[in-house]
């Protein structure tokens, strides 16, 4: 049965605000609420999306992903009975999304360039047609992750799979013929072991804070060619590995990440602009459509997804943008593709955690960061790796995170928590950047744990 149907279907809870502190709201409610559930704050005709982060009896604390001005005591809050999820399917490549997976181009067309509150649009175009080719056969028994059919997305055979939220075996009873369809067309029907009939489309959803990894984890064996000689020679990175690029302001962290996104030998690149300056994202949007992918000969945007949550956008959505990027990457990994996820910068995400931790009145750790900072960073990087999938295919996710230590101090908590879990450390130095020696990777402090595997 599905992840959604496995939970007891209760009447959606409703509540009202009893205390507001920035984007943290205290709500008293009637009904059933679970940790991580999506909530909507009602402001006249506007609905602000929020997430449950703490439950205490009939009181919950929710963090709102939008500006909370005009929220007052008694403001109505409804709970959606679903976790914060990513919508997965063909059409994600070339898209530019925010931390809640809203397509920014479509939002701009509807509401103008200044993003209003409470506008949420589907990330995948419901009107675009895809040429679907069935691969399964009627009567075949399938499980989650098994391929129903394929459609071409750029240069890739995008596999339409049994949703990962569906557990158990499903016997295929009906399959749509080859043709051109929109993503929400029912393409297959299947019967589970209890005799229930399920309908499947090209879309599926998955909670972003739950790792999506169905297959056997194996040790990385192939090097990721970055196109940067000093990285590939001295500090190599493996496909399915992790690396970080700490450095002071102006040392070239973002430029190095842009270089890696252009020339790395991977199939898919997910760029997560988490709390960085908007100008750097604009540079990517201007350059990538005109740059040629050396592996395919097409535009770089054809293999790229950009999650854009800049410093001027809501702070609370920084965390969701990081998890949204890695979830989309995990989805493409399940198709046997090599994915590179670049997070710029994890320090901004840590600052957002520190801000929310202070509002929750938690006991602070070093430099007022929450005590769970190291575990959250480790959880993120541990979602990398190589998976051995059904049929013998291999899929990988490589994660690279930029770290922005204040004053270039590598002893600060975010850098130290990151260094304890990554496989390669590409440290940037102020002295090398000031002397215009780019990339400003200092060979005296940098290291890689993958040298033995490469040799």
Residue 365 lies in a domain: yes
CA-to-CA distance for 258 and 226, rounded, in angstroms? 11
- Specify if 4 maps to a domain: no
Q: State whether 94 and 36 are in the same domain.
A: no
Q: Report the pLDDT averaged over residues 323-348.
A: 96
Res. 448: pLDDT tops 50: yes
Q: How far apart are CA 247 and CA 249, in angstroms?
A: 7
Do 336 and 432 lie in one domain? The reply is yes
pTM above the 0.85 mark? yes
pLDDT(188) > 90: yes
Question: Is residue 403 in some structural domain?
Answer: yes
9 band by pLDDT with thresholds 50, 70 and 90: very low
- C-alpha–C-alpha distance, residues 238 and 224, integer Å: 5
Q: Which pLDDT tens digit goes with each residue over 122-166? A: 999 999 999 999 999 999 999 999 999 999 998 899 999 999 999
- Tell how many helices (H) and how many strands (E) occur in the chain: 10, 26
Q: What is the mean pLDDT of residues 300-323?
A: 89
Average pLDDT over residues 237-243: 97
Whether 120 has a pLDDT exceeding 60, the answer reads yes
* CATH number of the structural domain spanning residue 146: 2.40.50.100
Q: Assess whether pLDDT exceeds 50 at residue 5.
A: no
Which residues lie across from 234 on neighbouring strands?
Answer: none
- Residue 150 CB neighbours (<10 A): 20
Same domain, 186 and 292: no
* Domain identity same for 408 and 273: yes
The total number of structural domains in the chain stands at 3
Q: Are residues 147 and 179 in the same domain?
A: yes
| The last residue of a domain, from among 202, 229, 259 | 202
Determine the distance from the C-alpha atom of residue 398 to the mean position of all C-alpha atoms in its chain, rounded to a whole number.
13
Q: Domain boundary residue among 202, 226, 258?
A: 202
Q: Provide, rounded to the nearest whole percent, the portion of the chain with pLDDT above 90.
A: 79
Residue 193 lies in a domain: yes
Whether 6 is covered by a domain: the verdict is: no
Query: Cis bond leading into 17, ω under 30°?
Result: no
> What integer is the mean pLDDT of 40-68?
94
Largest CA distance in the chain: 70
The answer to whether position 454 is within a domain reads no
Q: What is the pLDDT of residue 132?
A: 97
pLDDT tens-digit readout, 79-95: 999 999 999 999 999 99
CATH at residue 25: 2.40.10.170
Q: Are residues 278 and 304 in the same domain?
A: yes
Pair (418, 367) in one structural domain:
yes
Alpha carbon distance 155, 266 (integer Å):
13
Is the confidence at residue 375, as pLDDT, over 90? yes
Half-sphere exposure of 375 (CA within 13 A, CB side): 4
> Within a domain: residue 7?
no
Degrees (nearest 5) of the Cα angle 400, 98, 293? 55
Same domain, 30 and 176: no
Count of other CB atoms within 10 angstroms of residue 443 = 12
Residue 247 sits in a domain whose CATH number is 3.40.50.300
Q: Are residues 140 and 105 in the same domain?
A: no
Residues 301 and 414 in one domain: yes
> Quick one: pLDDT at residue 219?
95
With beta carbons less than 8 A apart as the criterion, state whether 95 and 305 touch.
Answer: yes
Mean pLDDT over the full length of the chain: 92
Q: Are residues 111 and 133 in the same domain?
A: no
In a domain, 453, yes or no: no
pLDDT reported for residue 11: 64
Q: Within this chain, do residues 339 and 263 fall inside the same structural domain, yes or no? A: yes
pLDDT tens digits along 247-306 = 998 898 888 998 999 899 999 999 999 987 888 888 888 888 888 888 788 888 999 999
Domain that holds residue 191: 129-202
Q: What percent of the chain has pLDDT over 70?
A: 98
Write down which residue in 176, 202, 228 finishes a domain: 202
Per-residue pLDDT band at 4 (split at 50, 70, 90):
very low
């Amino acid at each position: 049965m599905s992840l959604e149907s496995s939970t007891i279907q209760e009447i959606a809870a409703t509540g009202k605000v009893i205390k507001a502190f920035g984007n943290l709201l205290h709500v008293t409610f009637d009904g059933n609420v679970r940790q991580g559930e999506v909530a909507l704050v009602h402001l006249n005709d506007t609905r602000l999306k929020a997430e449950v982060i703490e439950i205490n009896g009939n009181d919950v604390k929710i963090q709102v992903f939008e500006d909370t001005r005009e929220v007052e005591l008694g403001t109505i809050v409804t709970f959606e009975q679903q976790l914060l999820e990513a919508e997965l399917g063909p059409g994600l490549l070339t898209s530019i999304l925010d931390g809640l997976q809203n397509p920014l181009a479509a939002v701009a067309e509807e509401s103008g360039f200044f993003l209003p509150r409470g506008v949420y649009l589907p990330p995948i175009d419901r009107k675009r047609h895809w040429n679907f080719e069935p691969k399964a056969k009627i009567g075949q028994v399938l499980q989650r992750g098994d391929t129903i059919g394929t459609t071409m997305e750029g240069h890739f055979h995008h596999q339409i799979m049994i949703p990962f939220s569906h557990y158990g075996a499903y016997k295929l009873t009906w399959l749509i013929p080859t043709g051109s369809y929109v993503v929400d067309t029912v393409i297959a029907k299947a019967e589970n072991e209890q005799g229930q009939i399920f309908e499947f489309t090209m879309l599926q959803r998955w909670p972003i804070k739950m790792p999506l990894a169905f297959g056997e984890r194996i040790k990385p064996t192939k090097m990721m060619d970055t196109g940067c000689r000093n990285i590939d020679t001295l500090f190599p990175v493996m496909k399915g590995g992790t690396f970080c690029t700490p450095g002071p302001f102006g040392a070239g962290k973002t430029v190095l990440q842009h270089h890696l996104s252009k020339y790395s030998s991977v199939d898919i690149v997910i760029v997560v602009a988490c709390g960085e300056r908007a100008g750097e994202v604009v540079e990517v949007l201007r350059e990538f459509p005109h740059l040629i992918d050396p592996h395919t000969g097409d535009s770089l945007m054809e293999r790229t997804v950009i999650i854009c949550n800049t410093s001027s956008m809501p702070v609370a959505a920084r965390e969701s943008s990081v998890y949204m990027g890695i979830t989309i990457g995990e989805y493409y990994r399940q198709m046997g593709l090599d994915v590179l996820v670049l997070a710029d910068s994890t320090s901004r995400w840590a600052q957002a955690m520190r801000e929310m931790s202070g509002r929750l009145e938690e006991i602070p750790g070093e430099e007022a960061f929450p005590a769970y900072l190291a575990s959250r960073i480790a959880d993120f990087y541990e979602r990398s790796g190589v998976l051995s999938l059904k049929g013998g295919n291999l899929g990988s996710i490589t994660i690279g995170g930029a770290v922005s230590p204040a004053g270039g101090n590598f002893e600060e908590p975010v850098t130290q928590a990151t260094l304890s879990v990554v496989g390669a450390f590409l440290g940037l130095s102020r002295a090398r950047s000031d002397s215009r020696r780019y990339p400003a990777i200092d060979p005296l402090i940098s290291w890689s744990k993958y040298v033995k595997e490469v040799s």
